[in-house]
């Protein structure tokens, strides 16, 4: 009971500290990952000695397995299926040669330089070819990043993990002492066949089934009774965990199932995607960052004690392999030279690499810890290189500093909300303003206004600015746009409103969906 209370207390302290520092960290340009690693070190045996999470810790096992499943689910949900179709050539370059060539180069280097077996080297190469969406978060949200580069990096982080996962699992099957050993009897071949069936057939099929049934049920309930948006985000997390557990229970790959379920959500229910991005993504990212805390207590630092010139040379090659291989492969895609450089440069290794490297450890494969320790050295180097590069990029773009004048924030917070696009001939009933929990009567709730109520204001000549603050996914997929609306990025509304010089005296009519 004491250990349980301590664990809950640590989780609470970590979340509180991370939340309080989030604004400072965002303005600095450095990702949250180093902070969580240092928090782990502070509570670990080299710090206050409160916790020590080892390879055989049940908590680490649960965090890592659920973290990888959520990572794959989040990767799929954040994909824009429309962009997958319109940018098919780019997708194939990124997840084909752009991912597999660096994985092969890294694996070959590990086999030749570190004297690893071929399956172990393949696992290491696949793990280190994965780019991390958590470390890329600041870059992807930067307005200085060109759209072409942002789309390419989102597609890569969303697709390469599921491309590399089969390499890791198949290599585990080929390692002596793993789930199966191909050097034994014919029965091993049968077991391998079952494993491949679970990976390529059961996992995708069950993920698609859970995703389809889940979306259909949500649509039915949403139509008849309505569902709160914050609970829709929790519903998305439930689909991720359900697809993972069902597939694992029947011998399929829960990770592939979670990815396919997320892909189905992205393709069939845009509203659920938006809800997940608003609420559920933060929950998923917090779980991933807590995994960083657990790894930061001891495990991720263990590789530093065994660093020699061969490991350092390998780490440098593993970091350099992606940009060297990817840059020429982006030629012929109508990308600006600057965009090609940005896409090739921003390829951090982070939690996804560590989680893939932990799979053989959890499978009980002998000496699998060596794969993880080498991976951790490369990840730490990537945190320094890519984290510093992110800060330099954001500073050089002039995007760091104060969040904007407070005078712009107040009008936005007091803006009215319209339920339907203004260009649509729809009349809605105004909803009464309700106080939120803890809101005083002196602090007015957001005012809601209908289209019919707004039009007389425009007819009188009063300053009215229609603000389109829908999510990027909804905005891009909906051909219906409000007449005369000013587009505001919902991820950074204050800065965007400042740059567009929206009047602080006007009535801002904000609508979102």
- Single residue among 373, 396, 419 that ends a domain in this structure: 396
Does 156 map to a domain? yes
CATH of the domain at 474: 3.40.250
| Total number of domains in the chain | 2
CATH of the domain at 311: 1.20.1530.20
Are both 173 and 265 inside the same structural domain? Answer: yes
Does 401 map to a domain? no
Q: CA 467, CA 388: separation in Å to the nearest integer?
A: 36
Are both 380 and 444 inside the same structural domain? Answer: no
142/295: higher pLDDT: 295
Are both 459 and 322 inside the same structural domain? Answer: no
Does 105 map to a domain? yes
| Residue found by looking up tokens 């390469």 in the block | 160
Q: CA 341, CA 460: separation in Å to the nearest integer?
A: 52
Are both 363 and 453 inside the same structural domain? Answer: no
Are both 363 and 472 inside the same structural domain? Answer: no
pLDDT digits (tens, 9 = 90+) for 241-262: 999 999 989 888 889 999 999 9
Q: What is the mean pLDDT of residues 468-473?
A: 76
Are both 63 and 173 inside the same structural domain? Answer: yes
Are both 251 and 232 inside the same structural domain? Answer: yes
CB neighbour class for 91 (10 Å; exposed up to 12, middle 13-18, buried from 19)? buried
Are both 373 and 412 inside the same structural domain? Answer: no
pLDDT at residue number 405: 36
For residues 95-119, b (16+ Cβ closer than 10 Å) or e, as one string? Answer: beebbbbbbbbbbbbbbeebebeeb
pLDDT digits (tens, 9 = 90+) for 368-409: 999 999 999 999 999 888 877 776 766 665 544 444 333 333
pLDDT at residue number 433: 42
Q: CA 204, CA 214: separation in Å to the nearest integer?
A: 15
- Single residue among 348, 370, 396 that ends a domain in this structure: 396
Q: CA 364, CA 277: separation in Å to the nearest integer?
A: 35
pLDDT digits (tens, 9 = 90+) for 276-312: 766 666 777 777 778 888 888 899 998 888 899 999 9
Q: The pTM is what? A: 0.73
Are both 414 and 464 inside the same structural domain? Answer: yes
Are both 392 and 415 inside the same structural domain? Answer: no
Q: Would the pLDDT of 98 be above 80?
A: yes
423/111: higher pLDDT: 111
Q: What is the DSSP string of 207-246?
A: HHHHHHHHHHHHHHHHHHT---HHHHHHHHHHHHHHHHHH
Ranked by mean pLDDT, which of 38-47, 93-102, 398-407, 488-497 comes out on top?
Answer: 93-102
Q: What is the DSSP string of 410-454?
A: HHHHT-EEESS-TTS----PPPPP-PPTT--TTSPPPPB--HHHH
pLDDT digits (tens, 9 = 90+) for 196-227: 787 888 889 999 999 999 999 998 998 888 88
Are both 412 and 374 inside the same structural domain? Answer: no
Does 61 map to a domain? yes
Are both 341 and 489 inside the same structural domain? Answer: no
Give the structural domain span for 90: 2-396
Contact 374, 114 (CB under 8 A): yes
The residues near 13 (Cβ < 8 Å, ≥ 6 apart) are none
Nearest alpha-carbon partner for 422 in 459, 463, 456, 455: 455
How do 464-468 and 416-418 pair as beta strands?
Answer: unpaired
- Single residue among 396, 415, 441 that ends a domain in this structure: 396
């Amino acid at each position: 009971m004491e250990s349980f209370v301590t664990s809950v207390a640590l989780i609470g302290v970590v979340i509180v500290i991370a939340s309080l520092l989030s604004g400072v960290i965002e303005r600095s340009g450095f990702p949250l990952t180093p902070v969580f690693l240092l928090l782990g070190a502070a509570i670990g045996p080299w710090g206050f000695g409160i916790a020590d999470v080892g390879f055989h810790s049940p908590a680490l096992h649960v965090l890592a397995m659920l973290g990888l499943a959520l990572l794959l689910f989040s990767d799929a949900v954040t994909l824009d299926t429309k962009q997958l179709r319109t940018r098919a050539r780019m997708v194939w370059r990124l997840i084909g040669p752009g991912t597999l060539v660096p994985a092969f180069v890294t694996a070959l280097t590990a086999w030749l330089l570190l004297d690893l077996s071929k399956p172990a080297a393949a696992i290491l190469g696949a793990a280190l070819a994965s780019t991390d969406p958590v470390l890329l978060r600041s870059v992807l949200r930067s307005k200085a990043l060109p759209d072409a580069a942002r789309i390419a990096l989102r597609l890569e982080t969303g697709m390469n993990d599921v491309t590399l996962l089969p390499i890791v699992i198949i290599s585990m099957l080929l390692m002596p002492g793993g789930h199966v050993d191909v050097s034994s009897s014919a029965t091993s071949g049968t077991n391998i066949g079952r494993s491949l069936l679970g990976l390529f057939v059961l996992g995708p099929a069950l993920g698609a089934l859970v995703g389809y049934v889940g979306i259909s049920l949500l649509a039915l309930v949403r139509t008849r009774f309505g569902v709160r948006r914050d609970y829709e985000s929790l519903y998305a997390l439930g689909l991720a965990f359900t697809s993972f557990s069902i597939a694992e229970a029947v011998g399929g790959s829960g990770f592939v199932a979670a990815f396919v379920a997320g892909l189905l959500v992205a393709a069939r229910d845009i509203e659920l995607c938006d809800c997940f991005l608003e609420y559920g993504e933060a929950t998923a990212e917090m779980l991933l960052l807590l995994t960083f805390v657990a790894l930061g207590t001891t495990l991720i630092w263990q590789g530093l004690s065994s660093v020699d010139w061969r490991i350092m040379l390998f780490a440098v090659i593993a970091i350099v392999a992606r940009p060297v291989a990817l840059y020429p492969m982006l030629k012929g895609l109508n990308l600006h030279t600057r965009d090609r450089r940005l896409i090739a440069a921003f390829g951090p290794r982070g939690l996804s690499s560590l989680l893939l490297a932990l799979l053989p450890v959890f499978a009980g494969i002998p000496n699998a810890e060596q794969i993880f320790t080498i991976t951790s050295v490369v990840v730490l180097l990537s945190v320094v290189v890519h984290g510093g590069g992110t800060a330099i990029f954001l500073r050089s773009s002039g995007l760091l500093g104060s969040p904007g004048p407070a005078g712009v924030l107040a009008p936005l917070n007091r803006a009215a909300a319209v339920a339907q696009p203004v260009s649509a001939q729809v009349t809605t009933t105004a909803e009464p303003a309700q106080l939120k929990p803890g809101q005083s009567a002196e602090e007015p709730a957001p005012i809601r206004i209908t289209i019919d109520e707004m039009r007389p204001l425009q007819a009188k000549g009063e300053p009215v600015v229609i603000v389109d603050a829908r999510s990027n996914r909804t905005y891009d997929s909906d051909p219906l746009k409000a007449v005369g609306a000013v587009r505001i990025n919902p991820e950074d509304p204050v800065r965007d409103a400042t740059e567009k010089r929206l009047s602080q005296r006007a009535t801002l009519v904000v609508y979102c969906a």
